[in-house]
Structure 1
Amino acid sequence: MHEAPSSEELLGSVIGFLNQVAAPQLSGQAAFHARVAANALALVEREMAQRPTADTRARALFAALLNDEASTLEALNGQVCAQIRSGDLACDNPSLLATLREITSAQLAIDQPSYSGLNP
């Protein structure tokens, strides 16, 4: 039985090719674009690997903050924003700050994993 490579394996192969084979043989703008393409694919790879867990955790954090276990992440996010805008949820609320800090850290781990603020 033939098994196709996974999406993650395919992305890893293309990223490796761009970084280790293509970019070193290119110069100027072409080398720059090869590095940009590899970085974009690495972001997609991190998104695929980390987004489900990050979204599940964000939903749990918002649900606990709002005492709403039934709503979707998108609905909870909207509720948090609305409550902050209306003043019903104070911007200096320790639970809100901890929730936003954790959600933002998870997003940064996907978008910019080498961001120095992620490592205290």
Structure 2
Amino acid sequence: MSLHGSPSSAELIEAVREWLERDVLPSAEGRMRFHTRVAANVLATVERELAMGDVQEAAHRARLESLGVADDAEFARAIRSGELDDRFDEVRSVIRADVDDRLSVANPRYVD
């Protein structure tokens, strides 16, 4: 149950995206068609972030903790200082997982 009730933010975003794709895009031409497609893609990205963001954030925090760092700034500092040089495979695995998570929101077609 949400304080704001139904429809949820995710449902509203989905409805607008579907309207753009189903009703606006087919009749749009030129610049308007391009901007409609961009808007629909932005909304699809927001939908994915709402759906996956909390789980991805928790996984990201767990990955950083596995390296003994508290946040992205500390992770970057540890890499720059050479503190994690002897853990290259672990660092690469964390970065790869983070990139995959980001891509699964930004554009899932780019994820291996």
Report the TM-score when normalising by structure 1.
0.83
Question: CA separation in 2, counterparts of 1:11 and 1:102?
Answer: 27
1:4 CA drift (Å): 2.5
Q: 2:26: which partner in 1? A: 24
Q: 1:85: which partner in 2? A: 80
> Residue deviations 1:18-37, cap 9 Å, x none?
01110101111011111111
Question: What are the within-5 Å matches in structure 2 for residues 1-120 of structure 1?
Answer: 4-66=6-68, 71=70, 76-90=71-85, 93-115=88-110, 118-119=111-112
- SS of aligned partner of 2:85: coil
- SS of aligned partner of 2:105: helix
> Residue deviations 1:37-93, cap 9 Å, x none?
111111111111111111100000100111x5xx4xxxx211110011111112871
Report the TM-score when normalising by structure 2.
0.89
1:7 CA drift (Å): 1.2
- SS of aligned partner of 1:114: helix
Q: Which runs of 5+ in 2 are unaligned?
A: none
Moved over 6 A (4+): none
Q: Percent identity?
A: 32
How many residues in Structure 1 have an aligned counterpart in Structure 2?
Answer: 108
